[in-house]
Structure 1
Amino acid sequence: MAYKKRARPTVAECVDGILSGDRILLSKAITLMESQLSDDNELAVEILDQVMGRTGNATRVGITGVPGVGKSTFIESLGKYVTGLDKKLAVLTIDPSSQRSGGSILGDKTRMEQLSHNPMAYIRPSASQNALGGVALKTREVMLLCEAAGYEVIFIETVGVGQSEVAVNDMVDFFLLLMLPGAGDELQGMKKGIMEMADAVAITKSDGDNIKAANRAKAEYQNALHLFPSSESGWYPKVSTCSSIQHTGIKEIWDIIREHETLLKSNQHWNKNRGLQNLQWMHEHINHALRKQFFQKEYVKNELMVIEERVRKGEVSAYRAALDLLKSLHL
């Protein structure tokens, strides 16, 4: 029996489906957005244009953490609490990409089994596909589609490759850093930049024999955060402890997220931050489009391997080689 290719949904079908909360059509629209095919991308942009009026109303939370901190378990625990408040939650998880297939490796729905069966939650794993910073190229657009579908809270989990924290911080309202008990040694190796970005630090696995260590870590992180200059918004980062297994401290962390939102909306920093993020978003797409256009130029395709070899041998400077290739853009 011959395989019959499934028909691609129309723009109208996807728009109607997204606005009515149809998870299947939302997923299909996201697939179009993440596709490597330009025809799919054009349809996805049309869909996004038509649903933009329904976006921007969600609370966007970025979540990152050191290896072994239990991000997935924490997200599932916090997600169950949020959906218990009758809020629709979308979890966008960025998986490392398989070098062979380009697909995600970890399989987030298996990592958050209970949440994946929750009718109030939608989990979408995306392969980073070697995008800069380990964040999927279309994460922001996927987030907007989820908002248009009525999801009131968006979690974005980083892949944790170093630069991903910066990339995610530039697309969320609240950035949460998860750390393990035993902060003394970890604090020494912790990147200052990541600590400065955090709106809150949560010490996970604060249960059983770890409680004393977690409380000690809380005090050490709070002292460390006080050394950083205060943010322009007037928010001072908070440190809390929690146990995803015993579900303790989860409510307190959600309360911190809500407190942060209330403050920033009251002093106009909420909209200011989003406006700046939108501008950065646009410039990133310009850079990506120019790079893609550049490498599709016939002159570049023909000359690249030759000039790369000359640069490798030291026959021409990298600077001169780049300038010669850029001439093909006629800028």
Structure 2
Amino acid sequence: MDIHDLATRVQAGERRALARAITLVESGRADHRAQAGALLDALAPLGRQALRIGLSGTPGVGKSTFIEAFGMFLIEQGLKVAVLAVDPSSARSGGSILGDKTRMERLSRQKNAFIRPSPSQSQLGGVARRTREAVALCEAAGFDVVLIETVGVGQSETMVAEMSDLFLLLLAPAGGDELQGVKRGIMEIADLILVNKADGDLKPMAMRTCADYAGALRLLRKRAYDPQGFPKAMTVSAVTQDGLTDAWETIQTLIAWRREHGHWTRRRAHQARHWFEEDVRHGLLSVLDQKDTRARIDTLGDQVANGQISASRAAADILTHLRPVRKI
């Protein structure tokens, strides 16, 4: 693979080249990882930055419908929009449906839009392991806004906050009360709560849900990187598109304040360090899959299962075995 040619085509905004580049960074093969690193290094000097928006919500809340409506709205504003949708992988077969692009039929036909579904595989936290690198590729390709749609697994889905500038939490009408709103976890990282489906017969219920969560947000501890009045709750309708303009203006207000007060730069620097440390951790864990180490783990695992040795003693044995590797 000609990495220089691929980098040039990605920089020019070729969607086919971008799709190929994301496939490359998602690969786990050692030679592909080396090529992916070279590609990212070649694109890094461009210094292009997009607005990274993480978006989550429970299954059925209308994430794909909202993203299509919001994406179409942004394109009408003259922006280029990339959507990175993470689909849950089967715990049995390891496969994923990857149907988000089919759901966003109108958006997928837009020349200024790019939609890429990816499997979560065994990664926890609602995102795929290489989503961060896919975001960097979309930025290098010249997209103005990158929407990161997470799996939608619930309250522990917080990893997306480490790769986005702003986090939207989508809720359905009657999706919880004020007590639900003060629970720790995903609520603490939300910058904007959007109660979707605020149309038709569901609109009064959506308004009540929004009021409940607005009250709950006032009970949460104030964050240093928020201006007065944030985080906040709003109602939107992906079907009628009501509230999309207000939501976008609110997002721009928050981002402008964070840029002005230096929070944008500090957040990006913190995220870069976080993912460096994550890559180190994954590299150390990969040592456990080496043939000799795997054989030792299997042997000790059988002894633990048979009650011949305690789990803690077996784990200590493995760590002792790995010490020479750690020193390197």
TM-score higher than 0.5: yes
In structure 2, C-alpha distance between the alignment counterparts of 1:290 and 1:42, rounded to whole Å: 17
Which residue of 1 is the match for residue 162 of structure 2? 170
What whole-Å deviation, never above 9, does each CA across 1:93-117 have from its counterpart, x for those lacking one?
Answer: 0001245664431421101111111
Give the Å deviation of 1:190. Answer: 7.4
Cα distance, 1:118–1:103 mapped onto 2, change above 3 Å: farther
Cα distance, 1:256–1:283 mapped onto 2, change above 3 Å: same
**Matches of residues 99-178 of structure 1 in structure 2 within 5 Å?**
99=91, 102-162=94-154, 165-178=157-170
Number of aligned residues: 322
Cα distance, 1:164–1:103 mapped onto 2, change above 3 Å: farther
In structure 2, C-alpha distance between the alignment counterparts of 1:275 and 1:292, rounded to whole Å: 26
1:317 to 290, 310, 323: 310
**Matches of residues 241-260 of structure 1 in structure 2 within 5 Å?**
241-260=235-254
Cα distance, 1:125–1:83 mapped onto 2, change above 3 Å: same
1:263 to 257, 263, 266: 257
Question: Is the 8 Å Cα contact of residues 62 and 174 (structure 1) preserved in structure 2?
Answer: yes
Give the Å deviation of 1:299. Answer: 2.6
Give structure 1 stretches of 5+ with no counterpart. 1-8
For 2:140, the aligned partner's letter is: A
Give the Å deviation of 1:315. Answer: 2.5
Give the Å deviation of 1:134. Answer: 3.6
1:60 is paired with a residue whose SS is strand
What whole-Å deviation, never above 9, does each CA across 1:118-154 have from its counterpart, x for those lacking one?
Answer: 1111000001111122421100001001100001101
Cα distance, 1:134–1:203 mapped onto 2, change above 3 Å: closer
Which residue of 2 is the match for residue 277 of structure 1? 271
What whole-Å deviation, never above 9, does each CA across 1:26-59 have from its counterpart, x for those lacking one?
Answer: 1111111111211111111100001012245110
Cα distance, 1:187–1:209 mapped onto 2, change above 3 Å: farther
Matched-pair identity in %? 44
Give the Å deviation of 1:238. Answer: 1.2
Which residue of 2 is the match for residue 3 of structure 1? none
What whole-Å deviation, never above 9, does each CA across 1:222-276 have from its counterpart, x for those lacking one?
Answer: 1000000111113321111111110110111111111110010011011111111
In structure 2, C-alpha distance between the alignment counterparts of 1:183 and 1:264, rounded to whole Å: 30
Which 4+ residue blocks in structure 1 deviate beyond 6 angstroms?
none
Give structure 2 stretches of 5+ with no counterpart. none
**Matches of residues 1-331 of structure 1 in structure 2 within 5 Å?**
9-99=1-91, 102-162=94-154, 165-185=157-177, 188=180, 191-235=183-227, 236-296=230-290, 298-329=291-322, 330=324, 331=326
1:165 is paired with a residue whose SS is coil
Give the Å deviation of 1:192. Answer: 2.4
Which residue of 2 is the match for residue 4 of structure 1? none
Question: Is the 8 Å Cα contact of residues 203 and 214 (structure 1) preserved in structure 2?
Answer: yes
| TM-score computed with the length of structure 2 as normaliser | 0.93
CA RMSD of aligned residues (A): 1.8
